[in-house]
Amino acid sequence: MHVHPSERRWIWIAVLLVGAMIVLVGYTAVVMNVHPPSNVEAIDSTRLHLTPEFAEDNLGVKRESEGAVIARVVMARYMVHPQEITLPADTPILLRAASADVLHGLHVPGTNIGTQVVPGYVAQVRTRIDFDAVAKVGVANDDGSITVPIYCNEYCGLGHQSMWGRVTVTRK
């Protein structure tokens, strides 16, 4: 079969690009600990306040048995509820987030917490916060803890830029 030389060249360029992307995805996953949130768990976003898990008095941070920490937040235009949470460094953390209205994003600089919060689904991130990494980007408090922001990084409406919260990270 005859393939024109310039077509052959473009076939190779396409193959190399795909290969480069696969290497890049592997590198960010293994070295930088970046993973796509893969939790598929449906929830009725219009009735979050009526669910046991995302009712207002169940939000925030709880310590489970075996020392793990679970944090629950609800994102709604244009607030993160609760607006401030405290998480320990170097501890397994399960973060569960739900949207009460539209698509939001949840990003915490200095950590690998970064997920879309899609209405109708529970966004879930398992992580461990590196104290030194948040210390580089956050604000140091008098008690030695570090505060970093929570950003909404999906455009969700006119108040998007003022939708934020705070995570205070304590040394374990």
Chain positions contacting ligand CUA, by CB under 6 A: 75, 104, 152, 154-156, 160, 163
Q: Which two tokens stand for residue 163?
A: 């939708």
Contacts of 104 (CB under 8 A, 6+ apart): 75, 116, 117, 152, 154, 156, 163
Shortest distance in whole angstroms from residue 61 CB to ligand CUA? 21
Q: Which is nearer to ligand CUA, 152 or 169 (CB)?
A: 152
Q: Which is nearer to ligand CUA, 3 or 158 (CB)?
A: 158
Shortest distance in whole angstroms from residue 155 CB to ligand CUA? 6
Strand partners, 167: 85, 148
Distance CA 62, CA 57 (A): 11
Shortest distance in whole angstroms from residue 98 CB to ligand CUA? 13
Q: Which is nearer to ligand CUA, 43 or 103 (CB)?
A: 103
Distance CA 151, CA 58 (A): 22
Q: Which is nearer to ligand CUA, 81 or 160 (CB)?
A: 160
